[in-house]
Chains A and B, each alone.
Chain A
Amino acid sequence: MQGLPAIQDIVNLAAKIITSRTFLEIVVFPGFLNVFVGAALLTWLERKVIARVQLRIGPLYAGMWGILQPIADGIKLLFKEMIFPELADAKLLMVCALGLMMIAAAPVVAIPFGDGLVIANMDVGLIYVFAAISLFPTLILLIGWGSNSKYSFIGGLRSLFQQVAYEIPMWLSVLGIVMLTGTLNLTDIVRAQEKLWFVVPQILGFVVFFAAVLAELERIPFDLPEAESELVMGWMTELTGAAFMVGFLAMYTKLYVMSALITALFLGGWSGPSILPQPVWFLLKTFLVATVIVIIRGAFPRVRVDILLRTGWTRLLILAFANVFVTAMLIWLGFGWFWRV
């Protein structure tokens, strides 16, 4: 029994890890709790805002203003029975739903919620976020196929086509920002916006990125994979109970993370007058972007699939290239110093 560490040592090590800054960052803010509470809050926000757009009221009875509605939904879904079709691969579905939730929350690791308040200050933070985003179609395709149902499979295929088509304008529209700041580090990109937010000189890039994000989130007007009048629920049709809760929450986690990304890249991140602390500014802007996305859902009809794909592959691509050209002109005319960190 000579080499075994004593209980005292283990308890000490555990205490040191739990109170260390990184652990707090990962678990509370801007990590696990932040994403979880943010996604749940967004489900409530979406139902309220959509209701107001449609002249109704939305959730009302669960707590004041229905704010406990997401908790009620979660508890209900946890207690429901998970029914899978007989020939569907239940293990694959559950693993992929969990994987979807993990990948949806993954970009938060690189997004700075305040100066220095970032879990992993990666020098390749932007590419890491895009790599995580590019993993979505794989899991969605697997869920759609593993459900062994025509509706799910077609929904999964449509989702795959749509997300792959809009990944390229998304990558290209950020190229202007990278050209201006010369770095892929998200903290440096936010710091470079202290004088002027990137939404002004990169307005074309902002529009393209916003449209591409709407397509990646499968939200109206790019709602075809979830066309409620046609495909039941698209690729999520056969997910039930806890698996559905995980998939559903993954969609809103994606919304939260992408809104945070738009804020960090184009809207100046945590910059704002110092009456409020920096993370509060970041969260305010993030929820503003999310509200705009939700209002768009209530206000626009759905785009047909061939127009959708053609827009992604041709028109948005041309706009993104135009943005790169405009940025190159800006730099050539000597304005590049304005945003150098």
Chain B
Amino acid sequence: MPDIAFLALSGLVIASAVFALEARELIYGAVGLGLSLIGIAGLFILLGAEYLAMFQIAVYVGAVVVLILFTIMLVERERGRIVEEEEPVRLGRAGIYVAGLVALAVAAAVILLAPVSPEAPEFYRAPLQELGRSMASSYSVALVILGLLIGATVVGGLTLVKIEQKEKTSGTAQ
């Protein structure tokens, strides 16, 4: 008898994801993405990864979704409302077939080849101190690289602003 919480959360995740892609307005799409990510955070809690769930909410829903919303508002505001024309139905149907095939192949491969036992050990909540210790010792290189990546992101964003200004003054823009 499947768990009610798991069913509800996975329903929320998949339904919000489909809604995010199919909604008429882009804003609703971004809100749908936010809902889907909150559902995924709930799934993390079910899997005993509470710190990861909070991290996901704080970073993904608190920052990435805000960024996407912000970009949508800026993009739509400059030229009035951008009407998203209907993509050809053929492409939509092809998309469904491709997606279905890939998802089925991946699921079958993973389920049949996974070397772990499919039943869960007893109720488990990963200790937080272990995570911190491993991050500071075994994965410290990854942490440093992450910091460098953040710096690269900031530099990249600023450079893009400069490029835009240069393109505008050199006359290749409209």
Q: Which residues in window 171-193 of A have CB below 8 A to B? A: 182, 184
A128 beta carbon closer than 8 Å to chain B: yes
Q: Which of B51, B54, B61, B129 has the most CB of A within 10 A?
A: B54
Knowing that A92-B27, A131-B54, A160-B66 touch, tell me 15 more A-B residue pairs with CB under 8 angstroms.
A123-B125, A124-B50, A127-B51, A127-B54, A128-B54, A131-B57, A134-B61, A134-B62, A138-B65, A142-B31, A142-B69, A153-B73, A164-B63, A164-B66, A184-B51
Task: Tell me the B residues contacting A by CB distance below 8 Å.
Answer: 27, 31, 34, 50-51, 54-55, 57-58, 61-63, 65-66, 69-70, 73, 125, 128-129
Query: Residues of A contacting B61 with CB < 8 Å?
Result: 134-135, 138
Q: Quick check: A131 and B62 within 8 Å, CB to CB?
A: yes
Q: Quick check: B58 and A127 within 8 Å, CB to CB?
A: yes
Q: A124-B128, A127-B55, A145-B27 are in contact. Are A137 and B50 (CB under 8 A)?
A: no
Query: Residues of A contacting B58 with CB < 8 Å?
Result: 127, 130-131, 134
Contact of A122 among B31, B50, B55, B129 (CB under 8 A): B50
Interface size class of A (residues with CB under 8 A): 20 to 34
As a 0/1 sequence over residues 123 to 167 of chain A, the CB contacts with chain B under 8 angstroms (1 = contact) are 110011011001101100110011000000100000010001000
Q: Quick check: A124 and B51 within 8 Å, CB to CB?
A: yes
The CA of A160 and the CA of B73, in the complex, are separated in Å by 13
Q: A122-B50, A131-B57, A160-B70 are in contact. Are A138 and B34 (CB under 8 A)?
A: yes
Contact of B63 among A127, A134, A142 (CB under 8 A): A134
Q: How far is the CB of B119 from chain A (nearest CB, A)?
A: 26
Main secondary structure of the interface of B (DSSP, over half): helix
Q: Give the residue name and chain of the A residue nearest to B132 (CB).
A: A182
Contact of B69 among A123, A141, A164 (CB under 8 A): A141
Q: Give the residue name and chain of the B residue nearest to A126 (CB).
A: B54
Q: Give the residue name and chain of the A residue nearest to B57 (CB).
A: A131
Q: How far is the CB of A51 from chain B (nearest CB, A)?
A: 36
Q: How far is the CB of A171 from chain B (nearest CB, A)?
A: 9
Contact of B66 among A130, A141, A153, A184 (CB under 8 A): A141
Query: Residues of B contacting A92 with CB < 8 Å?
Result: 27
Q: Give the residue name and chain of the A residue nearest to B28 (CB).
A: A92
Q: Quick check: B54 and A123 within 8 Å, CB to CB?
A: no
The CA of A146 and the CA of B69, in the complex, are separated in Å by 12
The CA of A183 and the CA of B87, in the complex, are separated in Å by 52
The CA of A127 and the CA of B50, in the complex, are separated in Å by 10
The CA of A135 and the CA of B62, in the complex, are separated in Å by 5
22 A-B pairs (CB sep. < 8 Å): A92-B27, A123-B50, A123-B128, A127-B51, A127-B55, A130-B54, A130-B58, A131-B55, A131-B58, A134-B58, A134-B61, A135-B57, A135-B61, A135-B62, A137-B66, A138-B34, A138-B62, A138-B65, A138-B66, A141-B70, A146-B27, A164-B66
